[in-house]
Amino acid sequence: MLTIRFELVTGERLVYSDDVDMIIAPGTEGELGILPRHTPLLTGLQPGELRLKKGAEEISIVITGGFMEVLPDKVTVLADAAERAEEIDIARAEAARQRALERLQQRAGDADLAKAQASLQRAVARLKVAKRKRRPGGTVRQELGE
> What's the start-to-end Cα distance of the chain, in Å?
39
CA distance 101 to 124: 11
Q: Are strands 4-9 and 14-20 parallel, antiparallel or unpaired?
A: antiparallel
Domains of the chain plus CATH, in order, are: 4-85 (2.60.15.10), 89-143 (1.20.5)
CA distance 74 to 134: 30
Q: Are strands 41-54 and 4-9 parallel, antiparallel or unpaired?
A: unpaired
pLDDT in tens, the chain (146 residues): 799 999 999 999 999 999 999 999 999 999 999 999 999 999 999 988 999 999 999 999 999 889 999 999 999 999 998 988 777 777 787 787 788 777 777 765 566 666 776 776 777 777 677 777 655 444 333 334 43
CA distance 118 to 115: 5
Supply the pTM of this predicted model: 0.70
